[in-house]
Amino acid sequence: MSAEAHVNYGSARAILLTNDDGIHPDKSLILSLASALVVNGHNVVVVAPGRNNSACGQRITLGKALTLRRHPRYENQFGSVEPNGAPKGELRVFSVDKGTPADCIFIAIEPKTGLVAKLGFYPCLTLSGVNYGQNMGSDILYSGTFAGARQSAMYGVPAIASSLDLHLGTSSSTSCKQSCDRAITATVELAESALKVLPKVPLDFGRRNPEAGISTNVIARDETQSLDERTRDAFARGDLVLNLNIPKAWNAEYEMTRLDCLLYRGVVQLEYVPNGKDGHPEETLAIKMRSSGADQMHSKGSDLTAVERGRASVTAVGTWPSPHPLALPGQLMEESVRNGLGWIPHVSAKLQKEILHNF
């Protein structure tokens, strides 16, 4: 499908934002991120769950009606022009009652009939986050934040998942406010770097013809091409998702990483209830799951070690599981860890090799 045909889905490009923390500004960072992008001149469409969906994974809602709500108050509050008259784009803010991040992407991104198209835009990039709490290692299997980005990539729209190593309950102090501001800066900086190398219109928006996608996505699989060319092509087509994790005390540096190994242990708490629970007379066990108690490998070059060293971790994650026909060669992601990617800010091949050598 030609670029002209894609443009017919909307007249102007926009960045799509979603998350799994919900829409409320006191409980999420999505509107602060939207405001920073609008001030930079980007059109932004926010479509986020109406309530917290942390650790929901890529769950979608089937057989139940969902309600889409627009929030003009948030559009006015976070889309206003800066006092210095800085250029701004348009902001549209929506939430989906009882919806998941994956639901939000389906609603927003469907070519021609989705919300973004109905608003007169077409999506050039999706950002999921900024999430309160890290999403590193095997946590991406549970993460609603990562799921939102991955669902976008499955539609052929390039995507970045962004998370801050800070939990909401600790975000009221001045230092934590500074951490949130750094996370917004890191995410915007990565997004701007990505937009510089992405085509104005997604190469395979909607993935209407998977077989054509396999035949045309040749650069990512061509080992004679440079690493930057191969990864840019994969990212542009949605076959590769960038997973960003920002430390509380970010040092303004980025590091290309691999996923660490996280294994949860001792996370189940059992309480014996001899007289039953919730009106049921039989004996029961009250069960609670807690998120702490993970065994971490701290492997060389991993996202966890980068964040512990104050660097923002950028992990290239394949959208498709092997042996899916669109899955990328495994060595491509490993090369990105060893050599870095020139189109990621502040990551040079020399710095990347020094990071891995000195660890």
pLDDT digits (tens, 9 = 90+) for 4-20: 344 445 679 999 999 99
pLDDT (0 to 100) of residue 265 = 75
How many whole angstroms separate alpha carbon 125 and alpha carbon 241? Answer: 11
Mean pLDDT of 206-212: 70
Contact call for residues 39 and 126 (beta carbons, < 8 A)? no
pLDDT exceeds 80 at position 79: yes
pLDDT (0 to 100) of residue 57 = 86
pLDDT (0 to 100) of residue 8 = 46
pLDDT digits (tens, 9 = 90+) for 13-67: 999 999 999 999 989 999 999 999 999 999 999 999 999 888 888 898 898 999 9
Model confidence at 106, in pLDDT bands (50, 70, 90)?
very high
Which is more confident, 58 or 349? 58
pLDDT (0 to 100) of residue 2 = 40
How many whole angstroms separate alpha carbon 128 and alpha carbon 121? Answer: 18
pLDDT (0 to 100) of residue 10 = 62
Contact call for residues 255 and 352 (beta carbons, < 8 A)? yes
Q: How many CB atoms lie within 10 A of CB 116?
A: 25
Residues near 211 by beta carbon (within 8 Å), at least 6 away in sequence: none
pLDDT exceeds 90 at position 352: no
pLDDT exceeds 50 at position 3: no
pLDDT exceeds 90 at position 162: yes
How many whole angstroms separate alpha carbon 312 and alpha carbon 331? Answer: 22
How many whole angstroms separate alpha carbon 345 and alpha carbon 24? Answer: 30
Looking at domain 1-260+298-359, which CATH architecture does it have?
3-Layer(aba) Sandwich (3.40)
Contact call for residues 56 and 48 (beta carbons, < 8 A)? no
Q: Which of 142, 112, 144 is nearest to 128 (CA)?
A: 144
pTM of this prediction? 0.89
Contact call for residues 213 and 202 (beta carbons, < 8 A)? no
How many whole angstroms separate alpha carbon 130 and alpha carbon 56? Answer: 16
Q: Positive or negative, the Cα torsion across 110, 114, 120, 124?
A: negative
Mean pLDDT estimate for the chain: 86
- SS3 track for the chain: CCHHHHHCCCCEEEEEEECCCCCCCCCCCHHHHHHHHHHCCCCEEEEEECCCCCCCCCCCCCCCCCEEEECHHHHHHHCCCCCCCCCCCCEEEEEEECCCHHHHHHHHHCCCCCHHHHCCEEEEEEEEEEEECCCCHHHHHCCHHHHHHHHHHHCCCCEEEEEECCCHHHCCCHHHHHHHHHHHHHHHHHHHHHHHHCCCCCCCCCCCCHHHHHHHCCHHHCCCCCHHHHHHHHHHHCCEEEEEEECCCCCCCEEEEECCCEEECCCEEEEEECCCCCCCCCCEEEEEECCCCEEECCCCCEHHHHHHCCCEEEEEEECCCCCCCCCCCHHHHHHHHHHCCCCCCCCCHHHHHHHHHHC
Q: How many CB atoms lie within 10 A of CB 321?
A: 8
Contact call for residues 143 and 161 (beta carbons, < 8 A)? yes
Annotated domain spans of the chain: 1-260+298-359, 262-294
pLDDT (0 to 100) of residue 39 = 92
Q: Which residues partner with 272 through β-bridges?
A: 285
pLDDT (0 to 100) of residue 28 = 94
Tell me: cis bond preceding 130? Omega within 30 of 0 counts.
yes
